[in-house]
Amino acid sequence: MTEPTSGAAKQELQDFLRTADKLTLDDRRLLVQQALVLFEQNYVHLPMKAAMHAVNPVQRLRLLAVRLSRQTPQTMGPEWRFHAELSEIFHSVRDLHTNYLLPQPFSGRIAFLPYLIEEHYDGDQRRYVVTKTVQDFSSPGFGPGVEVTHWNGIPIDRAVDMNAARFAGSNPAARHARGLQSMTIRPLRVHVPPDESWVVLTYVGQDGIQRELSTTWRVSDNLPPFVNADEVSAAATAQGLDLGADEISRALKLLYVPEAVTSQESLGGAELTAEPAAPGADIVTSMPGFFRARSVVTPSGTFGHIRVFSFSVNDPDAFVREFVRLVGLLPQNGLILDVRDNGGGHIFASEFLLQTLTPRPILPEPTQFITTNLNLRICRRHKENPTGQIDLGPWCPSMEQALETGAVFSAAFPITPAGGANALGQQYFGPVVLVTNALCYSATDIFAGGFQDHKIGKILGTDDNTGAGGANVWTHELLKLLLDVPDSPYKPLPGGAGMRVSIRRSLRVHDLAGTPVEDLGVVPDFRHHMTRRDVLQGNEDLLARAGEILAGQPVRRLDVQVAAAQLTLTTALVDRADIYLDGRPAASVDVTQQVTTVPVPGAGSAQVIRVEGFQGGELVAARTILRS
């Protein structure tokens, strides 16, 4: 067997752990006290989690504080045990937004095995196969395609379920998916290290022979994130991110797709093309860490396919612009929009993207604080937006009233500005199918919910629902900066430790208005069981199923050319067009041919021109033209 040697510096787990004890007893007491502040005063989901999962994290933290008060430096026990207990309390609420972040030297590190395991279905039975191995790792008879049967002597399906019980996940599908994902890779920032130093894998090779492989857990530096969630910025205050999934996404690139690793959010446009994608070809993107765009050939036709890996950007406008550029180069007869494994990120980016796919105005999801004195202090301090990064004024009146009425939650207001969510308007006019799984979380849950609530298209899920993370998440450090006053309850955390908490919960809109996203998630319209061909041959059956859904759906067109006093409309499957100049109605015309010229006095001087296309009285297409 050859151990992996490429990539960042690596060491065996047991060697790494010898250097890991850093916290004093006072440090541990402080961490528990600060966790109590977050859970008692900030955590928006506490009533719901106590009801749905029968947990009491506040009481568990109080008991841990009592035990620590009775300990001495000589009797306090090993640090790993403290980390495990505090992590377990955070995990008990099954909320991937609410985390204890381990201190140095765990922060920024990943523990991994040199292979990746994925599941597929054979009829109704789950099977597990190795799909990737780390570069320079080899073992006789081992590689992609071998079927895994046992993990340290435990049948693999049972081992995954046992592992799933250790990690947060707000519904069974999410817990199972997270349990499988963490079998071979764990970000030590959010997960305690594996208990075992090595793993014995039992597998059946392509030759039908059963073998065993023993591999040690190794530890390596991970790639850094693009967004600093600990500073007062628009990106930090609008975070909707599963940190564990984001860490794993970066680690997978580092270990298995090093050519996609970049040090910048956007690479610029020096090598970009304006040529439409040839059938089966990829399009070079300026944001390879966030998109993969290509034309895919399926039995039902050739369609566009965009994989959105993450919404965790600093500049949501640039993110949307690059998406618009990519979809413009893809086939216009149907788009497969794939957000599987996307742990979320900037809520603006997720909700800004929706407008590009629909003629309907986007209503961003509203959010609520839990009403506590501490949350009210934070809202009052940022009522007038003193930093220029966060305006909490809309929530203040209801928070103040709640002190008298006893209301549990504040009134609900969106985080995403409605103007930004509707600034560009529709850019893609073909049908769209959204592909999801149980690792879609947070801002991606919000995106999937908005996609469904605005009736943009059908959702094809490889799991029964999305990960069900419905909240805006703030870090302890961000809270400390937002309430930077002498009597602040937020104290600096020792050793580089951190914490995160769900601060505002999100609610669905339109038909499901007021329904929380947390724990419920988004249920797909169609369910697809991943096949062996999917996990080993580039999602062939999944893309074929998506193509079937797209085939036969209407492909509309609404192009607009502007002259001084007229518009020329090129349309398909549109029978009426209403025209607005700078928000005011200017003309309405019946469309009876593919090209229609409409006299519109003042069109040449208008700053914003919007054309809405109807079929049978229903709004089916819209084009917004912004002019400087």
Among 343, 160, 119, 103, CA closest to 244: 343
Mean pLDDT of 37-65: 96
pLDDT digits (tens, 9 = 90+) for 210-227: 999 999 999 999 999 999
Q: Is the pLDDT of residue 34 over 60?
A: yes
- Residue 474 pLDDT more than 80? yes
- Residue showing tokens 């966790």: 35
Amino acid found at 413:
F
Residue 592 placed within a domain: yes
User: For residue 262, what pLDDT is reported?
Assistant: 85
Residue with tokens 């991994």: 112
Q: Which two tokens stand for residue 594?
A: 């593919």
- What 282-288 contacts at long range (C-beta under 8 Å, 24+ apart), as own/partner pairs, is 283/326, 283/329, 283/330, 285/322, 285/326, 286/322, 287/319, 287/322, 288/260, 288/262
**3-class state of residue 570 by DSSP:** strand
Q: Determine the Cα–Cα distance for residues 105 and 189; give it in Å rounded to an integer.
A: 9
| CATH number, residue 584 | 2.60.40.10
Return the pLDDT at 149: 97
> Regarding predicted confidence, which is higher, 1 or 176?
176
pLDDT at 428: 98
* Alpha helices (H) in 198-293, listed in sequence order: 234-237, 243-256
Strand positions, DSSP E, 563-617? 566-572, 576-581, 584-590, 595-599, 608-615
Token pair for 245: 């999934």
From first CA to last CA, the distance across the chain in angstroms is 63
Q: Is residue 582 part of a domain?
A: yes
pLDDT of 117-147, one tens digit each? 999 999 999 999 999 999 889 888 899 999 9
Burial class (CB in 10 A: 0-12, 13-18, 19+), 595: exposed
For residue 628, what pLDDT band results from cuts at 50, 70 and 90? confident
Report the C-alpha gap between 137 and 516 in whole angstroms. Answer: 45
Model confidence at 11, pLDDT cuts 50, 70, 90, reads confident
Asked if the model's pLDDT at residue 1 lies above 80, the reply is no
What pLDDT score does 4 carry?
A: 43
Judged against a pLDDT cut of 50, whether residue 409 lies above it is answered with: yes
- State the residue range of the domain holding 589: 557-626
**Partner residues linked to 418 by β-bridges:** none
Helix axes 172-181, 156-164, angle to 10 degrees: 110
CA distance 302 to 371: 51
Answer whether residue 578 is part of any domain: yes
Going by pLDDT thresholds of 50, 70 and 90, the confidence category of residue 5 is very low
Report the distance separating Cα 49 and Cα 98, nearest Å. 12
Q: Which residue has the higher pLDDT, 590 or 18?
A: 590
- Percentage of residues in the chain having pLDDT higher than 90: 83
Burial pattern 71-84, b for ≥16 Cβ within 10 A else e, equals eeeeebeebbebbe
Other residues' Cβ atoms within 10 Å of the Cβ of residue 386? 11
Distances (CA, A) of 461 to 143, 300, 311, 445: 28, 19, 19, 13
509-565 pLDDT per residue, tens: 999 999 999 988 999 999 999 999 999 999 999 999 999 999 989 999 999 999 989
Confidence of residue 417 (pLDDT cuts 50, 70, 90): very high
Q: Does residue 109 lie within any of the structural domains?
A: no
d(CA 86, CA 501): 14
Q: Which residue has the tokens 């993207």?
A: 353
- Looking at residue 373, its pLDDT comes to 96
Q: What percentage of the chain's residues is helix, strand, coil (to nearest 5)?
A: 30, 25, 45
Instruction: Determine the Cα–Cα distance for residues 113 and 310; give it in Å rounded to an integer.
Output: 24
Q: Considering the chain, what is the average pLDDT of its residues?
A: 93
Calculate Rg over the CA atoms of the chain: 26
> How far is C-alpha 234 from the geometric centre of its chain's CA atoms?
17
In this predicted structure, the answer to whether residue 9 has a pLDDT above a threshold of 80 is no
226 CB neighbour count, 10 Å cutoff = 22
Please state the pTM of the whole predicted model: 0.95
- How confident is the model over 299-327, as pLDDT tens digits? 999 999 999 999 999 999 999 999 999 99
Domain tally for the chain? 1
CA 567 to CA 580: how far, in whole Å?
Answer: 11
CB 306 within 8 A of CB 338: yes
588 occurs within a structural domain: yes
> Is residue 551 a part of any domain in this protein?
no
Residue range 572-602, pLDDT digits in tens: 999 999 999 999 999 999 999 999 999 999 9
Give the pLDDT score at 297.
97
Q: Is the CB of residue 442 less than 8 Å from the CB of residue 241?
A: yes
The residue type found at 528 is H
Enter the tokens of residue 262. Answer: 């970049």
- Is 105 contained in some domain? no
CB atoms within 10 A of CB 604: 13
User: In angstroms, rounded to a whole number, what is the distance separating the alpha carbons of residues 607 and 472?
Assistant: 35
**Residue 2: what pLDDT?**
45
Does residue 166 belong to any structural domain of this protein? no
- The pLDDT value given to residue 270: 57
Strand residue runs (E) in 385-486: 413-414, 432-436, 458-461, 471-475
pLDDT over 80 at 167, yes or no: no
**Nearest CA among 184, 204, 203, 202 for reference residue 194:** 184
149-164 average pLDDT score = 95
> How many Å apart are CA 56 and CA 547, to the nearest integer?
46
Spatial neighbors of 26 by CB under 8 A, at least 6 apart, are none
